[in-house]
């Protein structure tokens, strides 16, 4: 089971509790949106799944394993960051393939996956460009490609579209859903944008000041009293 389960998870920075007694199950293969205003704890929640933040108390399970102590590199996650976090000195191909090389995937497999991702994300012809010579939309697609080629069980996205202009954002949402339908990973997506949450999510987890307020379908969240 590739589900993610938070049990009574709290996260503090010093004396400030930023995630408060979180109980949440993210189902295998669903697209779960973490939605809420800036500072409510969405990113921290996602980073705990990625293994980029320690958990102060409680338990986090991924699959049937308690992962509180499991290092990030062993969690089988692909992640897309808001600012993409591309390696500035590496070209498009190098950015996309770096993680697979570190994991010592066979060259043929790397080429196969990379070629598919380049095609799907319309990056053919840009293989040798550095990030600084790409448009914002292209950088975003390189970040997606880099996560996609890992074919990980969990796909984590932190405001992946917030640096795109409105028009690109609309097409990128569709692209994301298409990618997910192809790979069916357990998909966790952070946004503060309600429209984005509605169009991308199977379910929405609404957060406010460190609390989970409700988890439900977009329709039910939208029609809440």
CA 20 to chain centre: 21
* Cβ nearer to ligand ADP, comparing 43 with 186: 43
* Cβ nearer to ligand ADP, comparing 65 with 101: 101
Sheet holding 77-80, edge to edge: 77-80, 154-158, 186-191, 31-35, 203-208, 211-216
3-state secondary structure of 25: strand
Give the residue at shortest CB distance from ligand ADP: 43
* Least distance CB 136 / ligand ADP (angstroms): 21
Q: From the list 1, 8, 13, 219, which residue makes contact with ligand ADP (rule: CB under 6 A)?
A: 13
222: phi then psi, degrees, rounded to nearest 5 = -70, -35
What span, in angstroms and rounded, lies between the C-alpha atoms of 171 and 167? 7
* Least distance CB 173 / ligand ADP (angstroms): 19
Task: Decide: is 40 part of the binding site for ligand ADP (CB under 6 A).
Answer: yes
Q: Are strands 65-66 and 57-62 parallel, antiparallel or unpaired?
A: antiparallel
* Least distance CB 115 / ligand ADP (angstroms): 5
Task: Decide: is 94 part of the binding site for ligand ADP (CB under 6 A).
Answer: yes
Task: Decide: is 137 part of the binding site for ligand ADP (CB under 6 A).
Answer: no
């Amino acid at each position: 089971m590739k589900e993610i389960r938070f049990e009574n998870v709290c996260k503090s920075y010093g004396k400030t509790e930023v995630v408060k007694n979180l109980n949440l199950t993210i189902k295998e293969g669903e697209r779960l949106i973490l939605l809420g205003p800036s500072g409510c704890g969405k990113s921290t929640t996602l980073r705990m799944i990625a293994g980029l933040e320690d958990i102060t108390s409680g338990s986090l399970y991924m699959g049937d394993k308690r992962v509180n102590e499991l290092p990030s590199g062993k969690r089988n996650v692909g992640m897309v960051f808001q600012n993409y976090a591309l390696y500035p000195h590496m070209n498009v191909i190098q950015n996309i393939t770096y993680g697979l090389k570190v994991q010592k995937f066979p060259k043929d497999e790397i080429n196969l996956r990379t070629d598919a991702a380049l095609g799907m994300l319309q990056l053919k012809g840009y293989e040798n460009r550095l990030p600084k010579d790409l448009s914002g939309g292209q950088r975003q697609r390189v970040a997606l490609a880099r996560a996609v080629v890992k074919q990980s069980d969990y796909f984590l996205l932190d405001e992946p579209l917030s640096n795109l202009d409105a028009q690109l954002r609309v097409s990128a949402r569709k692209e994301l859903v298409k990618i997910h339908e192809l790979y069916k990973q357990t998909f966790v997506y952070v946004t503060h944008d309600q429209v984005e949450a509605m169009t991308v999510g199977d379910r929405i987890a609404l957060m406010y000041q460190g609390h989970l307020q409700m988890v439900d379908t977009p329709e039910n969240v939208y029609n809440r009293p």
